[in-house]
Structure 1
Amino acid sequence: MTTLRLTRDEVHDLATRTLQKAGYGPNHVRAIADMLTTCQMDDCRSHGLFRLFMCVETTRSGQVDPTVEPQLTLDDSAVVRVDAKGAISLRAVQAAMAPLIDRARSFGIAALAVNRCYHFSALWPEIEQLNRAGLAALSMVPSHAWVAPAGGTRGALGTNPISFGWPRSEDPFVFDFATSAFARGEIELYRRAGKPLPEGVALDRAGQPTTDPQAAMDGAMCTFGGYKGSALSIMVELMAGPLIGDLTSLDSMAHAQGRPEAPFHGQIILAFDPERLSGGQHSDGDARAERLFAEIGAQGARLPSQRRYAARARNTARGFVEVSKQLIDDIRAL
């Protein structure tokens, strides 16, 4: 595969120009381009520049409003609500981030409910932002019903990612993973590369196991960990759907009416203040957490996000990231 070297500014500029051409307003362009650049520079390719195809398709289909501004609703509770009004979620989340942080510090715990949004992005950049403000955080979203429940044969659940982060004096502890065995974007990257999928991650249209990426796209993905992953996925459906008055992955799929667009649903983010919740004993709790992290490292185990932080440091130090020439050509053709 032929690759080209792009600086961070070049990645951001390519995303910005593509989004502007697609009709996104300046605030949306900035929020989306920042997210895509962050993911690309961390070698999170499935959520980097590749996602521009979905961003463009959703505007061409007429389903996403690329310019509308979110509506923020605040009261005297620990709940922050933001209506994305049928736009990509990122602008809405960023508009609500400051009051979410403020309420978490005031109450010890706060919740952000994002409604009526199209979501396509990684969750960890938002979680990391909260961690760097000194908060622990948890985020969940449903998607389209692309994933079969354990023991099932067709899609009923979303890829339903969960992200959690814990603040540290160094880079925070963060994980972000789909409850499906594979992310939808990863399967598309395998399809584009002509590579077979690993065994046990997907079913074809007839409900039979497959390693063919296209058959998987036409069929269903599997949850990770069998019934355990399936149960977690159902939890995400409930927490980020009915709990906040929004759609499940089945509802999102029906809303799309077969169009290849980003899932339409809600998102929930919970933020926790360790100082308030520990009764002022956060320094002791932080020391216990660091002993746990040290023990894990002493056994030769890798903490989640360490590989991504290493990629970030490497790409920052050398001043560029390697991107498939074919991907860049395809983006420019948009």
Structure 2
Amino acid sequence: MTETVQLALDEIKPLCEKVLRHNGYGEAHVSAIAHMLYTCQLDDCQSHGLFRLLMCIDTMRNGKIDGNAEPVIAPSSNAIVKADACNAMSLLAVEKALPELINKARQHGIAALAINNCYHFSALWPEVERLASEGLAAMAMVPSHSWVAPAGGKRGSLGTNPIAFSWPRPGQNPFTFDFATSAFARGEIELYRRAGKPLPDGVAVDRDGKPTTDPQAAMDGAMLTFGGYKGSALSIMVELLAGPLIDDLTSLESMEHAAGLGGAPYHGEVILAFDLAQFNGARMEENDARAERLFSDIIDQGARLPSQRRYAARARNLERGYVEVSKQLHDDILKFLE
């Protein structure tokens, strides 16, 4: 059984901030990144919580990222907000640009945020849930590195290419999902490798294109999309909408940009926001009721809505005041302070 350590909730952000600051990130980025890591760890999202500190530091030590760059938000007269992260992590650009995206969505009914020239390591659900808290439905997409083979292929052409969506629900947590179009998240494979556990069948192939359950062979070979051709088509859609559409890199180009070094992928991100009030007009209550009837019908038959386990973990951790992380990960993080 994996040995764990308990971290009090009020210890998480200070630990993240200390590590990030010690390794070259400026204060604005320290705050934005630490907040994201805390948010994910609070919900027991192990692959995107404190574990992602390793990628943040690896990215900085590889020497390409700017840990102090201020994002630039371009003036806009239409429904598109453009934010240049200026070769920094994406989170500060998102933080600075979301208020304008919210304003544009309320003005036009629908709006888009294009974030360019960013390194990206984080989950997407905190971003779409932030928009849901404002009464907006939202979607977010990013490419990554070309770790994933298309359906019928045997080498990486696509990224893990996550899609996140959030729908506001009055008086309760929003309906939210955030999943990679790969059968497994890249971070999950790394966690399996660190734990010495075999992968499930059907998530990866080795360098020769043969199925493998060995995490290292999977990382040396290629991951697979979920759902065969359907997942592959969705992944290609993400490449296009979060790449050429917003004048940024595909996963193939992100991999080339890395030039064999580790760290976070370098590309863009697109976020779409929908103002339910403008779409619904005077029928908001009626359509909220339609949505709730759908959710209730799903739950009443014993099925689970996406994020229910995450919300339950959040409530549990808030009540007890701490989270649990692997001792190995905690030890690895503390080494970054040496």
Q: Identify the TM-score tier after normalising by the shorter chain.
A: over 0.9
Residue matched to 1:183:
185
Residue matched to 2:38:
37
1:304 to 306, 323, 326: 306
Residue matched to 1:10:
11
Secondary structure class of the residue paired with 1:64: coil
Opposite residue 225 of structure 1, the aligned amino acid is G
List aligned pairs for 1:188-267, cutoff 5 A.
188-267=190-269
Structure 2 unaligned segments of length 5 or more: list them: none
**TM-score w.r.t. length of structure 1:** 0.99
Per-residue CA distance 1:54-73 (angstroms, 9 max, x = gap): 11111111111001100001
Residue matched to 1:289:
291
Residue matched to 2:120:
119
Secondary structure class of the residue paired with 2:230: helix
List aligned pairs for 1:68-217, cutoff 5 A.
68-169=69-170, 170-217=172-219
Residue identity (%): 66
Per-residue CA distance 1:278-334 (angstroms, 9 max, x = gap): 223221111100000010011110000000000000000011011111111110111
Q: Compute the displacement of 1:277 (Å).
A: 1.1
State yes or no: 1:23 paired with 2:27.
Answer: no
Residues in 2 aligned to 1:325 and 1:189: alpha-carbon distance in whole angstroms: 13
Per-residue CA distance 1:64-85 (angstroms, 9 max, x = gap): 1001100001222111000001
Secondary structure class of the residue paired with 1:262: coil
Secondary structure class of the residue paired with 2:99: helix
Aligned residues: 334
Residues in 1 aligned to 2:70 and 2:323: alpha-carbon distance in whole angstroms: 32
Per-residue CA distance 1:263-285 (angstroms, 9 max, x = gap): 10000000000000122322111
Residues in 2 aligned to 1:198 and 1:2: alpha-carbon distance in whole angstroms: 23
Residue matched to 2:51:
50
Opposite residue 145 of structure 1, the aligned amino acid is S
State yes or no: 1:313 paired with 2:289.
Answer: no
Opposite residue 88 of structure 1, the aligned amino acid is M
Opposite residue 238 of structure 2, the aligned amino acid is V
Residues in 1 aligned to 2:324 and 2:164: alpha-carbon distance in whole angstroms: 26
Opposite residue 61 of structure 1, the aligned amino acid is N
Residues in 2 aligned to 1:105 and 1:8: alpha-carbon distance in whole angstroms: 35
Residues in 2 aligned to 1:7 and 1:102: alpha-carbon distance in whole angstroms: 37
Q: Compute the displacement of 1:9 (Å).
A: 1.4
Per-residue CA distance 1:235-274 (angstroms, 9 max, x = gap): 0000000000000000000010111121100000000000
Q: Compute the displacement of 1:112 (Å).
A: 0.1
Runs of 4+ in 1 over 4 A off after TM superposition: none
Structure 1 unaligned segments of length 5 or more: list them: none
Opposite residue 48 of structure 1, the aligned amino acid is G
Secondary structure class of the residue paired with 1:288: helix
Residues in 2 aligned to 1:48 and 1:134: alpha-carbon distance in whole angstroms: 26
Opposite residue 149 of structure 1, the aligned amino acid is P
Residues in 2 aligned to 1:272 and 1:22: alpha-carbon distance in whole angstroms: 38
Residues in 1 aligned to 2:114 and 2:136: alpha-carbon distance in whole angstroms: 17
